[in-house]
Amino acid sequence: MTEPLVELRDLTVTFTGGPKPVAAVNGVDLTLAPGETVALIGESGSGKSVTLRQILRLNPERRSRVSGQVRVAGLDVLRLSGTELAAYRGAVASMIFQEPLLALDPVYTLGDQIVEAICRHEAVSREDARRRALDLFERVRIPSAARRLEAYPHEMSGGMRQRAMIALALACRPKLLLADEPTTALDATVQIQVLLLLRDLQREFGLSILFVTHDIGAAVEVADRMAVMYAGRIVEAADARTIVRAPRHPYTIGLLKSRAHGALQKGQRLETIPGSPPDLANLPPGCAFADRCFLAADACRTTPPAAEGLAAGHQVRCFRSADTAAALA
């Protein structure tokens, strides 16, 4: 097996800014091979964005406590110094956001923002950086690219903006692209175009992509593997097909069942499972899903279940994973 590009080990992130500490991420283990695409799914508030941001150390450091390990391309991200961190962000790993209108500086043209990012990381002239920006705009298939480089973010449509954001994220040829719900804010037809574009670029650049989505259909389409998050933990991870066809965690089963007839229609958001996720400021000692789980037993409420390997690359955190297969039938 090749050396993984990304390795998260027992990552925890606790926000300490409020009256009570909020345990947003509680021991996440995840690896990505070079060139692999992994989708993170789960209900709102399950810690997907916080996990993603921690890989770039974008969570507010003075108001959070972080433990565990984040290794990306051989770098120990949590121990990088300020200058090392700035050199890592954007060049090794970069990020695209849900709403590019909010994530781009409104008073700089898109071209200037890309040129700035390139010049920040590489010793190239502004003219060369400009040429590269134009090339990137063409690669993400923005029509009349030269003119669009001069545009401000608010002068573009949502789909074009997200393409520009992708171009910006790829400007310094990173190895890892983090995408936080890259298509949620877009129209259904544009969503598909952007997803297909991401998949093409992934092949072209040899990228690894870790992306967050609420759209299981999209995840199956694009991702090699899927990881299901609940209350700050990955409760099940497997290749995309296995997750959809043979899920073994009650939460994953609930997620899939709550979709109309289990049909994998694109553009459909996850329906909620009865009950609500636990208070992250006051997590139960046992399995965080116990209150909503149809298989919950007394043992589930005392200690959290550890990750268990069911088959190659299929991991699940549930005491009763042996019984779930039967429940599904």
Partner 1 sequence: MLAYIGRRVVYTVPIMLGVSLVCFALVHISPGDPLVSVLPADASEQLRLTMMRLYGFDRSYPEQFGLWLWRAVQGDLGTSIATGRAVATEVLRAAGNTLRLAALATVIGFVFGCLFGFVAGYFRDSWVDKLASLLSVIGVSVPHYWLGMVLVIVFSSQLGWLPATGAGPGGSSSWVWDWEHVSHMVLPAITMSVIPMGIIARTVRALVAEILAQEFVIGLKARGLNEVGVFAHVVKNAAPTALAVMGLQLGYLLGGSILIETVFSWPGTGFLLNAAIFQRDLPLLQGTILVLAMFFVLLNLAVDVVQTMLDPRIERG
Ligand X SMILES: Nc1ncnc2c1ncn2[C@@H]1O[C@H](COP(=O)(O)OP(=O)(O)OP(=O)(O)O)[C@@H](O)[C@H]1O
Query: How many Cα atoms are found within 13 Å in the side-chain-facing hemisphere of 50?
Result: 29
Is the distance from CB of 8 to CB of 49 less than 8 angstroms? no
* Residue from the set 3, 17, 150, 276 that interacts with ligand X by CB under 6 A: 17
Question: What, of ligand SF4, ligand X, partner 1, none, does residue 131 touch, CB below 5 to 8 Å by kind?
Answer: none
User: What is the DSSP secondary structure assignment for residue 260, as one 8-state letter?
Assistant: G
- CB-wise, 46 or 324, nearer to ligand X? 46
Residues 73-112, one symbol each (x = binds partner 1 by CB under 8 A, - = not), give ---------xx--xxxxxx--xx-x-x--xxxxxxxx---
Establish if 113 lies at the interface with Mg ion (CB under 5 A).
no
Distances (CA, A) of 52 to 139, 224, 248: 25, 18, 25
Residues 6+ apart with CB under 8 A from 49: 180, 212
Establish if 46 lies at the interface with ligand X (CB under 6 A).
yes
Per CB under 8 A, the segment of 13-21, 28-36, 50-58, 289-297 that binds partner 1 is 50-58
Nearest C-alpha neighbor of 166 from the set 226, 86, 110, 87: 110
For partner 1, the binding residues in 147-166 under the rule CB under 8 A are 152, 154
For ligand X, the binding residues in 205-244 under the rule CB under 6 A are none
- Shortest distance (Å) from residue 298 CB to partner 1: 43
Kindly state the tokens that stand for 190.
Answer: 């544009």
- CB-wise, 140 or 168, nearer to partner 1? 168
Query: Which run of H or of E encompasses 178?
Result: strand 176-180
Nearest C-alpha neighbor of 110 from the set 136, 141, 80: 136
- Shortest distance (Å) from residue 276 CB to ligand X: 12
- Shortest distance (Å) from residue 134 CB to ligand SF4: 51
- Shortest distance (Å) from residue 277 CB to Mg ion: 14
H-assigned helices in 207-307? 216-222, 240-245, 250-257
Establish if 54 lies at the interface with Mg ion (CB under 5 A).
no
Question: What, of ligand X, Mg ion, ligand SF4, none, does residue 295 touch, CB below 5 to 8 Å by kind?
Answer: ligand SF4
Establish if 24 lies at the interface with ligand X (CB under 6 A).
yes
* Residue from the set 7, 116, 128, 308 that interacts with partner 1 by CB under 8 A: 116
For partner 1, the binding residues in 163-182 under the rule CB under 8 A are 168, 172
User: What is the DSSP secondary structure assignment for residue 180, as one 8-state letter?
Assistant: E
Distances (CA, A) of 180 to 25, 53, 77, 293, 312: 16, 9, 19, 28, 27
Chain residues that interact with ligand X, rule: CB under 6 A: 15, 17, 22, 24, 42, 44-50, 59-60, 280
